Amino acid sequence: MSRWTGRFTVLLALIAFTGVTAYAQDGPTADHAVFVANNIWMMVATFLVFIMHLGFAALESGLVQAKNTVNILFKNIMIVAIGLLTYAAVGFNLMYPGDFNGVLGFAGLGLAFPGGADGLIAYADGGYTYWTDFLFQGMFAATGATIVSGAVAGRIKLPSFLVFTTVFVGLIYPWVGSWKWGGGWLDQMGFYDFAGSTLVHSVGGWGALAGVILLGPRLGKYVGNQVHALPGSSMPLATIGVFLLWLGWFGFNGGSVLSADPELTSFTLVTTCLAAAAGVVGAYITSSIVQKNPDLSMVLNGALAGLVGITAGADTVSVMSAVIIGLVAGVLVVLSVITLDSKLKLDDPVGAISVHLVCGIWGTLAVGIFSMNEDHSFVTQLIGVAAYGAVTFIAAFAIFGVVRAIMGIRVSEDEELKGLDIGEHGMEAYPGFQNFIVQ
């Protein structure tokens, strides 16, 4: 053990000891020790989910054209800000309205920290504090809009996208999320989604699909019967983004245990990691067969596909089942990207629809196939997928439609050709490089 490792270990022990002693007067020391450990892990998981936004920013920046890099980075930072503020204003109480088993509930505007022990050790059965709960869930909220951001990159007006994000993240995501995580009608039915294959990823995927349909493809993408590649700016940056997302998923899924339970947390992290690895292998094999050459972008999306696929059942499927789920997700994402691009002419620069929607649906249904819990039914999972798909897609389509009617959603042809960095922001990500971009 190095000198710095030893000091860090001592520091963590002191933090835990301080937390235990600070609450010792209110209850048994053992209970407080568990409470402190749980809360520290939940905060670490929150930090990891936050890092995922950096991963999305890097991935999307690498896969979009260089002339749109500032724009995609700008949207990613705004999404986090809008997501947290709207979640504090209405989202948290819309998603978790309290005593609720229906379709729509609301506990009121703003945050209302329960006084005394009710917001601390008595909150969530001693798992974590009220504030930790809000922040952890708030980090999830913005993810749905980040998924949309990449799919509509390169041609959407910035103000229009931000209006969509505000409504979608502030109202739609928490409302439909309450159906399961808030104790609503799907939760009562037995629908299961551990960490959000449907509640986060498919919801974002349906929003992305609506946006792509209404926007249409980027200029030059489909000419006649030909599909033209519009290469991204940096595969190294995209690769960094995927590794950051993989890292963040340890918090995304591991934190969704909602405690520091050693057995369940470690098990969840293993199934999560193996599914991602299997997704990489599945995408590699499929792209090598279908495209004749192994495609790095497909393999990167294969890792994300495996992660999205396992997210619904990471705590309830066996290790071998997790490998199968990830492997199938890796195959599906390649076939989906090719089908959407060459057959359906749906222009998704980063493959967000394939990764988050298609593999989110697969992962949710896989719970009904592979779950070790006999109460999890494939039919119930299918009902949940259909309900979220119908409502979320219609809502996203309606929001984009209203915004298009009032503000317009697509930039001008001239602005798109020059790049949104210049047109929307008056700056370049790579100064001096713009003249070398081939339209």
The pLDDT of residue 28 is 47
CA angle 373, 379, 382 (to 5 degrees): 105
Please count the structural domains in the chain.
1
Between the ranges 51-55, 106-110, 289-293, where is the mean pLDDT highest? 51-55
Measured CA to CA, the distance from residue 256 to residue 359 in angstroms comes to 19
> What span, in angstroms and rounded, lies between the C-alpha atoms of 359 and 364?
8
Phi, psi of 295 (to 5 degrees): -100, 120
| 296 falls within a domain | yes
Q: Using 50, 70 and 90 to split pLDDT, how confident is the model at 99?
A: confident
pLDDT at 98 over 90: no
In a domain, 2, yes or no: no
- For 353, residues 6+ apart whose C-beta sits below 8 A from its C-beta are 151, 205, 208, 209, 212, 336, 340, 346
Q: Find the CATH number of the domain harbouring 115.
A: 1.10.3430.10
pLDDT over 80 at 436, yes or no: no
Q: Which of the four pLDDT bands, split at 50, 70 and 90, describes residue 143?
A: confident
- Beta bridge partners of residue 227, listed in sequence order: 222
- Residue 116, judged by CB atoms within 10 A of its CB (0-12, 13-18, 19+), counts as exposed
pLDDT value of position 125? 82
Q: What is the DSSP letter of 151?
A: H
Average pLDDT, the chain: 91
The model's confidence at residue 364, banded by pLDDT at 50, 70 and 90, is very high
CA 391 to chain centroid, in Å, comes to 19
**Pair 60, 150: CB distance under 8 Å:** yes
Classify residue 294: in a domain, yes or no: yes
Rounded Cα–Cα distance for residues 98 and 121 (Å)? 18
Structure tokens at 398: 């309606």
356 in a structural domain: yes
| Separation between Cα atoms, residue 254 and residue 25, nearest integer Å | 31
CA-CA distances (angstroms) from residue 351 to 25, 106, 248, 267?
A: 54, 35, 19, 29
Instruction: Give CA–CA dist 404/163, Å, rounded.
Output: 11
Q: Which of 403, 422, 402 is nearest to 412 (CA)?
A: 422
DSSP conformation letters of 72-112: HHHHHHHHHHHHHHHIIIIIHHHH--SS--SS-----SS--
What mean pLDDT do residues 338-354 have? 95
Q: State the pLDDT confidence band at 225, using cuts at 50, 70 and 90.
A: confident
What's the pLDDT score for residue 242? Answer: 98
CA distance 147 to 79: 10
Q: What is the pTM of this model?
A: 0.90
**CB of 348 within 8 A of CB of 340?**
yes
Give the model's pLDDT for residue 69.
96
- Residue 431, SS3? coil
Q: Is residue 244 part of a domain?
A: yes
Contact present, 157 and 409 (Cβ < 8 Å)? yes
Quick one: DSSP state of residue 226?
E
- The predicted model gives 261-287 an average pLDDT of 97
Task: Mark out the alpha helices in 96-234 (DSSP H runs).
Answer: 130-141, 143-151, 158-167, 173-177, 185-189, 203-215
pLDDT of 30-46, one tens digit each?
688 889 999 999 999 99
Does residue 162 sit within a domain?
Answer: yes
Indicate whether 54 belongs to any domain: yes
Lowest-pLDDT choice from 115-119, 171-175, 242-246: 115-119
191 assigned to some structural domain: yes
Residue 316: give the domain boundaries: 38-436
- The per-residue pLDDT for range 208-219, each reduced to its tens digit, is 999 999 999 999
pLDDT at 393 over 50: yes
Pairing of strands 226-227, 222-223: antiparallel
Q: What is the pLDDT of residues 55-96, one digit of tens each?
A: 999 999 999 999 999 999 999 999 999 999 999 999 999 999
Instruction: Name the β-bridge partners of 226.
Output: 223
The pLDDT-based confidence of 315 (bands split at 50, 70, 90) is very high
